[in-house]
Amino acid sequence: MQTLSQYLHQHATTPAVTAVMLALADGCRAIGQAVRNAAFTGQTGLAGSGNIQGEAQKKLDVLSNDLLAERLRSQPAVCAFASEENDSITLTPNPPHPGGVLVAFDPLDGSSNLDINAPVGTIFSLLPAPAAATVSEADFLQPGQQQLAAGYALYGPATVLVLTVDATVSAFTLDETHGEFILTQDALTLPAETGEFAINAANLRHWGDAIVRYVAECQAGRDGPRSKDFNMRWVAAMVADVHRILSRGGVFLYPADRRASAASGKLRLLYEASPMALLIERAGGLASTGHARILDIRPASLHQRVPVLLGARHEIERLNDYHTS
Ligand code: F6P
Ligand code: MN
């Protein structure tokens, strides 16, 4: 039995990554507890505020953000952080230093699921701090391949933490009795083939030709050009959909579509697409916009959206072909 702390001391590239990961894990443990106890603590419903994306914040969105911010602010390795719930970056008292870390996070992903007691999660990305006197927003705009580490927590029947700090992806389950994350799956790998896809099919009439073709061929099953039946799943929380894919394969699609509001898709590059792309690629899958590898994209702004097609290697290669043919 290996604890998260023991694992990180063996696998993480620097002591700073270990320290930040442990702080994030502690934040996720607290968020999981807050989510489970919300009915008794008054943390249900809307906060009465909105974030920069125009989304109505729930009380738990705000609390989760605070729980992570609190821990990151007092973490000596962290120089600044960016959150889905904050318009701009937050500087910590620690100026940039060698080995310093920037953190970008989505504190409570899929929070519309809270109303129905369905899974939600937290996504985080660690980037190197600049070699400068202070951190600015531009320092966060690094392509995803420069991430030092990334991961997510899923608050489901169990609280699970999935992360990558080296070339591999590992999963930890929270032992609620002792408050410790325990390694439960090492070196997760993603099969290149699948018979399962995930997409919000209500947007079908807005999709471009490549997505329409791909989904129609999956739906045609063994009677169509793919000559095999596909299954469809949609949890409506990216963390849970990606966790299913890392657990048993599949593809997850949140494409751009023809609506002006969805011209770049829905998901945010820095703290949703990039960390998930790193996990998926390190597990042997691919993550693409249809035209570009997500990890190669240099963000233009903190809350930039990006189309996301990720999962089984052969399926994403096929989707890339459909976008260029
Ligand atoms: O963070 C955005 C998000 O909640 C993702 O977690 C999820 O995959 C997606 O939006 C759900 O979108 P929709 O409302 O279209 O089902
Ligand atoms: Mn989200």
- Does 55 carry a binding-site annotation? no
Phi-psi region of 265 (alpha: psi -120 to 50; beta: other; left: phi over 0): left
The model's pTM is 0.98
**CATH number of 196-324: 3.40.190.80, 3.20.20.70, 3.30.720.120, 3.90.25.10?**
3.40.190.80
Q: Is the dihedral of CA 258, 108, 236, 240 positive or negative?
A: positive
Q: What is the pLDDT of residue 88?
A: 98
Q: What is the pLDDT of residue 12?
A: 81
Q: What is the pLDDT of residue 54?
A: 85
Q: What is the pLDDT of residue 33?
A: 98
Phi, psi of 221 (to 5 degrees): 55, -140
> 305 - beta bridge partners?
268
CA of 215 to the centre of ligand 2 (A): 23
- Ligand 1, residue 267: give the atom nearest the CA: 2
- Does 109 carry a binding-site annotation? yes
Quickly list DSSP for 142-192.
--GGG-SEEEEEEESSSEEEEEESSSS-EEEEEETTTTEEEEEE-S----S
Mean pLDDT by 10 residues, the chain (325 residues): 97 94 98 97 94 90 98 97 97 94 98 96 98 95 98 98 98 97 97 97 98 98 98 98 98 97 96 99 98 98 98 98 95
Return the structure tokens found at 302.
């903190």
The rounded radius of gyration (Å) of the Cα atoms in the chain is: 19
3-state SS of the chain: helix, strand, coil percent to 5? 40, 25, 35
- Ligand 1, residue 111: give the atom nearest the CA: 4
Q: What is the pLDDT of residue 109?
A: 98
Domain 4-185 fold is Fructose-1,6-Bisphosphatase; Chain A, domain 1 (3.30.540)
Residues of the chain with CATH 3.40.190.80: 196-324
Residues of the chain with CATH 3.30.540.10: 4-185
Q: What is the pLDDT of residue 13?
A: 86
For ligand 1, mutation pick of 85, 266, 270 (most atoms within 8 Å of CB): 266
Residue type, 20: V
For residue 258, the surrounding DSSP H or E stretch is none
Going by C-alpha positions, the residue among 180, 194, 266, 276 that lies closest to residue 233 is 194
